[in-house]
Amino acid sequence: MKAFYKFLSFFSIPFVRGGVYFILFKLMGRNVGFPLLISSNVTLGGARKINAGNNLTICKNAFVDPIKLVVGDGVWIGYNCFLCGEVVIGNNVMIGPNVSIPGANHNYEKKGIPYKDQGLDVKGTLIGNNVWIGANSVILDGVKIGDNSVIGAGSVVTKDVPENMIYAGVPAKKIKAI
């Protein structure tokens, strides 16, 4: 499988690369829409755990290695994004460059055991429909972002965001309703 992914990296046209991934996903029995546009240097681990709607774009250097990933229609995942754990993304979502969505956390409570050996706590992250996540933001595990919301650039979202809101800052706080 690694050799196949290396082979895919030689494709320079996102539509062609996406077409190959589309066929691969279908052969694995995944539910994936078309077109699927995947830029160069995208890492797609856990392909058996990805379900995506129509018009998904994943930009250069994105790292997507989920426990479970469900993506709606018309989603844009920006340059250098990081997605792992359990993440559900609604329809018409824009995820800016350098956004990190780690849909899981490492456990740390047991004394004398390295953190890396303590396993994961997975709550999952839910991003509603028509959401815009600004560049360089971090959406922590367990957060739910409501429909039609905006997350300002550089924000760290630690708590749920209601529908129709703009949140920004570190930690992200309500800026205003929209």
Report percent pLDDT > 70 for the chain.
Answer: 84
Contacts of 114 (CB under 8 A, 6+ apart): none
pTM for the model stands at: 0.84
Dist. CA 105–CA 108, nearest whole Å: 9
List pLDDT tens digits, range 93-130.
Answer: 999 999 999 988 889 999 999 998 999 899 999 999 99
Tally of domains within the chain: 1
Q: Look up the CATH number of the domain holding residue 67.
A: 2.160.10.10
List pLDDT tens digits, range 22-56.
Answer: 777 767 777 777 778 888 888 888 766 888 999 99
Nearest to 141 by CA among 57, 66, 51: 66
Label residues 23-32 b or e (16+ Cβ within 10 Å = b): ebbeeeebeb
Domain around 131? 2-177
pLDDT of 166 over the 90 cut: yes
106 part of the active site:
yes
Could you tell me which residues are beta bridge partners of residue 105?
121
Q: Which of 26, 106, 159, 176 is catalytic?
A: 106
